[in-house]
Structure 1
Amino acid sequence: MLSTLRIRHIGVIDDATLEFGPGFTALTGETGAGKTMIVTGLTMLLGGRLERGRLREASTVDGTLALAGHDELEAALDDLGAEEEDGEVLVVRRVTRDGRSRAQIGGAPVPIGTLARLVGTAVTVHGQSDQQRLRDPDAQREALDRFAREEIEPLLERHRELWRERSALTERLAELDDLLSERDRRATVLRETLERLEQADPQPGEDAALRSELERLGNAGELRAAANQAALALVADDDAPAAGPLLDVAAEALGRASRTDDSLAPLVERLEASRIELSDIAAELTRYAEDIDASPGRLEEANERLHELTVLIRDLAPVLSDPDVPVEDVTALLEASRGAAVDLDRYDGADQERAAAAEQLESTQAELDEAAAALTAARVAAARELSDAVQEELRHLEMPDAAIRVDVGEQSHRIHGRDAVAILLAPHPGADHLPVARAASGGELSRVMLALEVALSASRSDRTAAPVFVFDEIDAGIGGRAALAVGQRLARLAQHAQVIVVTHLPQVAAHAGTHLQIVKSSVDGSTSSTVETLDRAGRIGELARMLAGDTSDLALAHAEELLEEAGTVASGAQASAGTRR
């Protein structure tokens, strides 16, 4: 439900606040007072565009929308970081003079597309040029599905599940076909490559270790000389000075002294440990010098193995790895080979998986066909009921000779089924049934649209999720009994929804529960408009103006009579609706 609407600086409206009732709200006013600007403001709030010609300065529209029933909007508040208060959310749209647009939901900035998606689905605006429900085949199908929601929704959801399952299976089959085609090209090459790799049996890091070894073997003479020199410096066999003998002298001297002063004992122990460590180092250096070229053929052997590994990387890397990921050593080659082994496993199981997927797809397609047939049967039955319901509403709207028909035809299979829904109208006996947007005149189109909305709303079982309908001069082109009938049916629609109507007919306005008047005033050659909520006396005066153009006693009496009659009809309709429920 739309609780309030504040419009600033749109057309002739400087600043106006509208408070809507929960049922039927009528907006009336003199020609040029700005009734259309109210609808323009509402359209802005729903994400619509504002024509530059209606901008005098920055224009702003604020609307307070009750969240009850608008599940998508309510669910989105947390994600948007928006705030609600007492079950209502403030929606703001601002357009600057240069055409830049800003929007907020619950204080959180949102793109205009998000505004249109979340708020635009909560409020439906119907004008003389935008009865999209009567023009768009998808919208007509969705209307039929809502009309018979209890029967159709479970079938539709089942169909959607099967459609998604079939789509996934079809996609998987295509992937498996590509895999099998790839297998024919790559599997043999991969197997031969992995066999060659297995025969060579490279170890992670082996090529790096060989390079280090070759560096060492290539400098064996220098390394041996260095090791021997270091060993001699530690423990010489002749009288040349060396660290070992000097350490022996120090240990012996300190040992004698420790017999006199036992506090030196720890130092003696450390010297003994150093003598042992020095002797071990000298022995290891001697062994290193003796072993560094113990195998004269090792240099050639290491060179041959490194060459083998280099050729292996050069030949196998293009087969095993992604061209964009260079393979520069044995470790990377072995890592790439693991991916190739996984690919081979996938190739080996692809035949069986494809056969299973094809069998499952065939089964799912059969289930999908059954689901589509059940959906069609439910829609055909619902179409008959909707046709009857709209036909009855048209009779009440002074179109008794018009024949409405809701056809369910066939189209290409899509996620919502195989059904193409079309609302057809024969405006008079003997006329062909044509798409209603082509068969009906402007006034007839408005009444057909109203009949459809009344039928759809009357079928709703969830009264808490009442939609909001805005009708912009739905009564254009009609008068007399037809105008009275339109007012009555709008009042009936308002039993299940919030209805906001811009009208110039007193027969329509009299049926409203809330009456707002757009009042035009001129000061110093400048025209502006405000909005007033009318009490009973104000309503009678406004209805008299609409009836006769003045507020004479006769016009006032006629207006009061019209208001009384509308109230009596509305009370009877509410009682009848309560009995049916």
Structure 2
Amino acid sequence: MLSTLRIRQIGVIDDAMLEFGPGFTALTGETGAGKTMIVTGLTMLLGDRLDRGRTRGSSTVDGTLALAGHEELSTSLDELGAEEDDGEVLVVRRVTRDGRSRAQIGGVPVPIGTLARLVGTAVTVHGQADQQRLRDLDAQREALDRFADAEIGPLLTRHREIWRERTTLTERIAELDVLLSERDRRGTALREALERIEATDPEAGEDDALRTELERLGNAEELRGAATQAALALIGDDDGPAAGSLLDVASESLGRAARTDTTLTPLVERLDAARIELSDVSAELTRYAEDIDASPGRLDEANERLHELTVLVRDLGALLPGSDGPAEDVTALLETSRGAAVDLDRFEGAEQERATAAARLEAVQGELEETADALTAARRAAAERLAAAVQEELRHLEMPDAALRVDVSERAHRSHGRDAVAILLAPHPGAEPLPVAQAASGGELSRVMLALEVALASSRSDRTAAPVFVFDEIDAGIGGRAALAVGQRLAQLARHAQVIVVTHLPQVAAHAGTHLQIVKSSTDGATSSTVETLQRPGRIRELARMLAGDDASDLALAHAEELLDEASTAPAGRTSPRRSVG
């Protein structure tokens, strides 16, 4: 239920607060008073754009929605982290003159699309342009499904589940076909490549290590000479002094001095450490010189192994490309070979998986056909009941001779079944039934839409919150007895939903439980509007104005009071008592 609506700086409305009743609320006012701005404000809560010409600085709409019974909306708000206040949530939409738009639900900023989706689960706005939805066959099918939700809903849910499974299986089989085709094209080559890699048994980085070794082996004589000379310089031989001998002299000399002055002891220890380190370096240099060509055949072995690895990378690098292209060294080749092994594993299981998926697809197709048949049967049975219910409503709406039919025909199979639903209307005896949007005049189309909504609302058996319907001049193009009938059926609809109606007909407004008047005033050449909740005397004056254009005429006032009293005792009744606000 929509509890309140506050509109600021939209068109002629500076700041207006509307409090809606739980049943039927009527909005009336003089031409140009701003009735359209009220509907504009409501549609802004549903994500619609605001005409820049109606924006004054920063235009804002605040709406309070009662959440009781709106399970889908409540769940979505919990996921958003939106705040509630005593079971209600505040929805805010703000649009600036430069076109920037902001929205919040329960204090949480949300995209406009999210605002439209969430609020749209609770509020439906019907304007004159919205009657064109009766031209949409999908909308007509959805209306039929809502009407017979108890019978159609489970079948439709099951059909969509099977449809999704069929789609998933079909897509998977297509993927497996590609995989099997790739197996036939690449599988043998991949297997042979992996066997060759396994036989060669390379190690990551082995080719780079071999190149380093070959560089060293190719310069063995020079390297051995340098190592030998360095070792001699450190340790020396019988022909001359060396660094080691000089360190021995320095250590022995400083050691004698340290016995006299102990402050020299740390230096002696450092010299001893240097002698040991020098000795170790010399020993390693000697071993390096002795080992560098210890294996005369090693150069040939290293060259042969490097050639073997180079050929392996050249032959297989393009066959087993990685994410960055063909492998260029052994390390990259080993990395891509792991991906090739995974591909081979997928190839091995693809054939069996495809056979299993194909068998399941065949079974699913049979289930889908059976469910579609049941869905068609349920829709055809419901179509007869919906046609009868809408036609009965049309009788109450002063269209007693109209004949309405709901046809269910076959079309291409889709997720909702293979049914096309069309509402056909013959507005008078002898007329050919045509699609309702073609057969009905503007006023008739309004009444057909209202009859459909009343029939749908009357069929609701769930315990979720009643929807909110907003009608913008649904009574356009009608008058007299038809207008009175529209008011009665709106009151009937308000038994099952909250109904908010913008109207210019007193016969409609008289049936409302809550009556709001948009009041226009002018100050210093500027026009602005506010909203007042009318008590009974105020309602009588407003109805008199709507009847005769004069709220002071005794005759008009008497007629207005009579109209109000008759509406209160009309057969359709009222869902809530009239609010009497002083």
Q: Under a length normalisation based on structure 2, what TM-score does the superposition of the two structures give?
A: 0.88
Task: Tell me the CA shift for residue 516 of structure 1.
Answer: 0.7
Q: Give the residue type in structure 2 aligned to 1:93.
A: R
Q: 1:207, 1:329 within 8 Å by CA — same for their partners in 2? A: yes
Equivalent runs, 1:396-415 vs 2, <5 Å: 396-415=396-415
Unaligned runs of 5+ in 2: 258-265, 577-582
Residue 556 (str. 1) matches residue 557 (str. 2): yes
Q: 2:491, 2:573 within 8 Å by CA — same for their partners in 1? A: no
Q: 1:102, 1:112 within 8 Å by CA — same for their partners in 2? A: yes
User: Paired residue for 1:262?
Assistant: none
User: Paired residue for 1:106?
Assistant: 106
- The separation in 1 between residues aligned to 2:525 and 2:574, in whole angstroms, is 47
User: Paired residue for 1:209?
Assistant: 209
Residue 505 (str. 1) matches residue 505 (str. 2): yes
Change (3 A) 1:276 1:509: closer
Post-superposition Cα deviations, 1:40-94, rounded to whole Å, max 9, x if no partner, equal 2222332223334444554332222223344444334355554332222222333
User: Paired residue for 1:49?
Assistant: 49
Moved more, 233-242 or 432-441: 233-242
Change (3 A) 1:256 1:107: closer
Percent of matched pairs sharing the same residue:
82
User: Paired residue for 1:527?
Assistant: 527
SS state of the match for residue 173, structure 2? Answer: helix
Task: Tell me the CA shift for residue 468 of structure 1.
Answer: 0.9
Equivalent runs, 1:277-296 vs 2, <5 Å: 285-296=285-296
Change (3 A) 1:246 1:345: same
Task: Tell me the CA shift for residue 453 of structure 1.
Answer: 0.6
- The separation in 1 between residues aligned to 2:111 and 2:282, in whole angstroms, is 80
Residue 128 (str. 1) matches residue 128 (str. 2): yes
SS state of the match for residue 328, structure 2? Answer: coil
Q: 1:458, 1:493 within 8 Å by CA — same for their partners in 2? A: yes
Q: 1:132, 1:139 within 8 Å by CA — same for their partners in 2? A: no
Change (3 A) 1:304 1:394: same
- The separation in 2 between residues aligned to 1:288 and 1:4, in whole angstroms, is 93
Moved more, 53-62 or 114-123: 53-62
- The separation in 2 between residues aligned to 1:413 and 1:284, in whole angstroms, is 84
Moved more, 314-323 or 362-371: 314-323
User: Paired residue for 1:117?
Assistant: 117
Moved more, 325-334 or 23-32: 325-334
- The separation in 2 between residues aligned to 1:302 and 1:410, in whole angstroms, is 77
Change (3 A) 1:273 1:403: same
Q: Give the residue type in structure 1 aligned to 2:528.
A: S
User: Paired residue for 1:347?
Assistant: 347
Q: Give the residue type in structure 2 aligned to 1:552.
A: S
Equivalent runs, 1:239-318 vs 2, <5 Å: 240-241=240-241, 285-318=285-318
User: Paired residue for 1:86?
Assistant: 86
User: Paired residue for 1:26?
Assistant: 26
Residue 567 (str. 1) matches residue 568 (str. 2): yes
SS state of the match for residue 131, structure 1? Answer: helix
Q: Give the residue type in structure 2 aligned to 1:518.
A: I
Residue 321 (str. 1) matches residue 325 (str. 2): no
Task: Tell me the CA shift for residue 418 of structure 1.
Answer: 1.0
Task: Tell me the CA shift for residue 523 of structure 1.
Answer: 3.5
Change (3 A) 1:49 1:234: closer
Moved more, 33-42 or 562-571: 562-571
- The separation in 2 between residues aligned to 1:474 and 1:49, in whole angstroms, is 22
Q: Give the residue type in structure 1 aligned to 2:448.
A: V
SS state of the match for residue 484, structure 2? Answer: helix
Post-superposition Cα deviations, 1:87-109, rounded to whole Å, max 9, x if no partner, equal 22222333333444333333333
User: Paired residue for 2:356?
Assistant: 356
- The separation in 2 between residues aligned to 1:212 and 1:247, in whole angstroms, is 36
Equivalent pairs counted in the alignment come to 575
SS state of the match for residue 460, structure 1? Answer: coil
SS state of the match for residue 198, structure 2? Answer: helix
User: Paired residue for 2:95?
Assistant: 95
Residue 456 (str. 1) matches residue 456 (str. 2): yes
User: Paired residue for 1:366?
Assistant: 366
SS state of the match for residue 570, structure 2? Answer: helix
Post-superposition Cα deviations, 1:338-375, rounded to whole Å, max 9, x if no partner, equal 21122222223322222221111111111111121222
Task: Tell me the CA shift for residue 450 of structure 1.
Answer: 0.8
User: Paired residue for 2:484?
Assistant: 484
Moved more, 26-35 or 497-506: 26-35
- The separation in 2 between residues aligned to 1:255 and 1:269, in whole angstroms, is 9
User: Paired residue for 2:263?
Assistant: none
User: Paired residue for 1:540?
Assistant: 540
Unaligned runs of 5+ in 1: 258-265, 576-581
SS state of the match for residue 425, structure 1? Answer: strand
Change (3 A) 1:574 1:245: closer
Q: 2:234, 2:244 within 8 Å by CA — same for their partners in 1? A: yes
Change (3 A) 1:456 1:225: same
Moved more, 182-191 or 229-238: 229-238
Q: 1:127, 1:471 within 8 Å by CA — same for their partners in 2? A: yes
Post-superposition Cα deviations, 1:159-211, rounded to whole Å, max 9, x if no partner, equal 11111111111111111111122222222322332333333332222112212
User: Paired residue for 2:187?
Assistant: 187
Moved more, 221-230 or 169-178: 221-230
- The separation in 2 between residues aligned to 1:518 and 1:3, in whole angstroms, is 18
SS state of the match for residue 437, structure 1? Answer: helix
SS state of the match for residue 322, structure 2? Answer: coil
SS state of the match for residue 48, structure 1? Answer: coil
Moved more, 309-318 or 27-36: 27-36
- The separation in 1 between residues aligned to 2:323 and 2:253, in whole angstroms, is 72
Task: Tell me the CA shift for residue 307 of structure 1.
Answer: 2.2
Task: Tell me the CA shift for residue 156 of structure 1.
Answer: 1.4
Post-superposition Cα deviations, 1:235-259, rounded to whole Å, max 9, x if no partner, equal 66647546777899999999999xx
Q: Give the residue type in structure 2 aligned to 1:499.
A: V
Post-superposition Cα deviations, 1:464-518, rounded to whole Å, max 9, x if no partner, equal 4211111112122222322222111111111111101111222211111100112
Q: 2:313, 2:333 within 8 Å by CA — same for their partners in 1? A: yes
Q: 2:163, 2:368 within 8 Å by CA — same for their partners in 1? A: yes
Q: Give the residue type in structure 2 aligned to 1:122.
A: A
Task: Tell me the CA shift for residue 270 of structure 1.
Answer: 12
User: Paired residue for 2:579?
Assistant: none
- The separation in 1 between residues aligned to 2:81 and 2:206, in whole angstroms, is 58
Residue 13 (str. 1) matches residue 20 (str. 2): no
Moved more, 231-240 or 518-527: 231-240
User: Paired residue for 2:166?
Assistant: 166
Q: 1:511, 1:570 within 8 Å by CA — same for their partners in 2? A: no
- The separation in 1 between residues aligned to 2:208 and 2:520, in whole angstroms, is 92
Q: 1:321, 1:336 within 8 Å by CA — same for their partners in 2? A: yes
Q: 2:23, 2:575 within 8 Å by CA — same for their partners in 1? A: no
Change (3 A) 1:475 1:340: same
- The separation in 2 between residues aligned to 1:554 and 1:356, in whole angstroms, is 83
User: Paired residue for 2:580?
Assistant: none
Post-superposition Cα deviations, 1:516-548, rounded to whole Å, max 9, x if no partner, equal 112223344443322111011111222222233
- The separation in 2 between residues aligned to 1:326 and 1:59, in whole angstroms, is 61
Residue 223 (str. 1) matches residue 197 (str. 2): no
User: Could you say what the CA RMSD is over the residues aligned between the two structures, in angstroms?
Assistant: 3.3
Change (3 A) 1:323 1:484: closer
Change (3 A) 1:480 1:274: closer
Q: 2:320, 2:327 within 8 Å by CA — same for their partners in 1? A: no
Change (3 A) 1:464 1:76: closer
- The separation in 2 between residues aligned to 1:378 and 1:138, in whole angstroms, is 17
